[in-house]
Amino acid sequence: MPRPPFLPATYRRGDPMAEIMDCLVNYFNLDIGEDGVPRRYFSYHVVAGPGPTPDSGVASIATLAVFDPAERCTSCTTFHAVAEGGPGAAIAKAVHYLDSYHEQDRLQKVQTAIRRSECVSQL
């Protein structure tokens, strides 16, 4: 299989690429029901990986849980791409998008540490 034109000439199949990163981001209010569940909450899984060029990155947001399906963020499924900075910049862009989206909701935010996994080219 020929080398794709966007990869450097020295790049070989099986070489490490940018990493895959992910984190969990939750927003909730402090009004807790008797069952311990916040009365208003949103839970997202943000995943980022390498983009089409060596320094680019892309991220996606998956909604995991929402207190009221009518308040689901339909625009949060936007594909977040960056030309520079790789997956780290892409995940930061996606998390910033969520923060902006929930800015007026007066909710608390909890975010896990960003996990990193090496990605190997299959080209």
Domain ranges in the chain are 16-115
Query: What's the CA gap between 46 and 7, in Å, rounded?
Result: 26
Burial of residue 36 (CB within 10 Å: 0-12, 13-18, 19+) is exposed
pTM > 0.85: yes or no: no
Which residue numbers in the chain have pLDDT < 50? 1, 3-8, 10-11, 15
Residue-level pLDDT at 108: 94
Tokens of 99: 């923060």
Residue 93 CB partners (closer than 8 Å, separation 6+): 59, 80, 82
- Counting residues of the chain whose pLDDT is more than 70, the rounded percentage is 81
Round the average pLDDT of the chain to a whole number and report it.
Answer: 83
Q: Classify the phi-psi angles of 36: left when phi > 0, otherwise alpha if psi is within -120 to 50, otherwise beta.
A: left
